[in-house]
């Protein structure tokens, strides 16, 4: 199982638009991806309700895990996504 730690860059945290973009990207991997805080239960990264309930705020670290072929590459792309201020970017 691949694992990465990333700091949430979006100014509003992982909420609303940034959460929706992240969930869409996680779904696009086709893998079992989870997100959570270190030491806490992770949630399904393809569940908008789970990701929003996580309540990850700007500057907080989260841990991403994925299992399956291409997991490392998938996590690298998700880390790159969360490392940007998605709320500041135009859709």
Show which residues are catalytic: 15
Calculate ∠ Cα 53-59-63, nearest 5°.
60
Sign of CA dihedral 74, 80, 54, 17: negative
Query: In angstroms, rounded to a whole number, what is the distance separating the alpha carbons of residues 18 and 85?
Result: 8
């Amino acid at each position: 199982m691949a694992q990465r730690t990333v700091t949430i860059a979006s100014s509003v945290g992982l909420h609303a638009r940034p959460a929706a973009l992240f969930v869409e990207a996680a779904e696009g991997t086709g893998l079992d991806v989870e997100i959570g805080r270190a030491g806490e239960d992770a949630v399904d990264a393809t569940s908008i309700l789970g990701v929003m309930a996580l309540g990850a705020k700007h500057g907080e670290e989260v841990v991403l895990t994925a299992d399956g072929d291409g997991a490392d590459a998938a996590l690298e792309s998700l880390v790159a996504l969360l490392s940007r201020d998605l709320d500041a970017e135009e859709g």
